[in-house]
A and B are shown apart, each in its own frame.
Chain A
Amino acid sequence: QVQLQESGPGLVQPSQTLSLTCTVSGGSVRLGGYYWTWTRQHPEKGLEWIGYIYYSGSTDYNPSLKSRVTISIDTSKNQFSLRMSSVTAADTAVYYCARLFWSNGLVYFDYWGQGALVTVSS
């Protein structure tokens, strides 16, 4: 059973950089056909996809966040990470890491972390 676990500071100051790490267990991030993603959910709101990374290092991001987001991967640790710069209160949300299956024209999230609440406040 694949498990994902987010970790990182729960409080970030405005204008600073948000950093989160997702540790994957029960499966390898090197598995073909699976992409490693970040999605966020604002309080009492819907879901916003942030971006993905493949084990090769290729990435893609939501155009609305692309200028501030970097996703990286450490295959030796079976982890991937999110960095979001210049945060504001509007970035306060629960951040989920998730595995994305992408093959044969199908694209869906099959495993999610439990989520990490990040509050942007001074």
Chain B
Amino acid sequence: EIVLTQSPGTLSLSPGDRATLSCRASRSVSSTHLAWYQQKPGQAPGLLIYDASSRATGIPDRFSGSGSGTDFTLTISRLEPEDFAVYYCQQYGDWPPITFGQGTRLEI
């Protein structure tokens, strides 16, 4: 199975900062077959980005995704207080199984 490794494990930033989150796959996920989710405490994950760079419906344009193959990035251009959460990447380039990264916690 494809293993996704996210870095850093925890990212400490302030509102207004730019956040850059990384997701690296153990082998190619077939071009851009990667999604990103945001999870807040006590809630289910919510879709942010699919196909590596396409924003889901209703997602603000401060969220952007990039990358292909084995290296992917989620960028939040200007952090809002509600953006502090845990972020997961998910691959569907070679499945089953669908696999997720271990998460990056974005904290103030």
B-binding residues in A (CB < 8 A): 45-49, 51, 60-64, 96, 98, 105-110, 112-115
B16 touches A (CB below 8 Å): no
Q: Given A98-B44, A112-B45, is A106 in contact with B99 using a C-beta cutoff of 8 Å?
A: no
Stretch at the interface among B19-27, B71-79, B89-97: B89-97
How far does the Cβ of A45 sit from chain B's closest Cβ, in whole Å? 8
Question: A48–B97 Cα gap in the complex (Å)?
Answer: 9
The A contact surface, by secondary structure, is strand
Residues in A with CB closer than 8 Å to B102 are 45-46
Residues in A with CB closer than 8 Å to B88 are 46-47
Using an 8 Å CB-CB cutoff, how does the interface string of B45-66 with A read, 1 for contact, 0 for none?
A: 1110011000010000000000
A-B contacts besides A49-B99, A61-B96, A64-B97, 15 pairs, CB < 8 Å: A46-B88, A46-B101, A47-B88, A48-B100, A49-B98, A60-B96, A62-B97, A63-B1, A107-B92, A108-B50, A108-B90, A108-B92, A110-B47, A112-B45, A113-B44
The B contact surface, by secondary structure, is loop
Residues in B with CB closer than 8 Å to A115 are 44
Q: Report which of B1, B50, B95 forms a contact with A106, defined as CB distance below 8 A.
A: B50
Residues in A with CB closer than 8 Å to B103 are 46
Most chain-B CB neighbours within 10 Å: which of A47, A63, A110? A47
| B47, A49: Cβ atoms closer than 8 Å | no
Q: Report which of B44, B98, B101 forms a contact with A112, defined as CB distance below 8 A.
A: B44
Residues in A with CB closer than 8 Å to B33 are 105, 107
| B98, A114: Cβ atoms closer than 8 Å | no
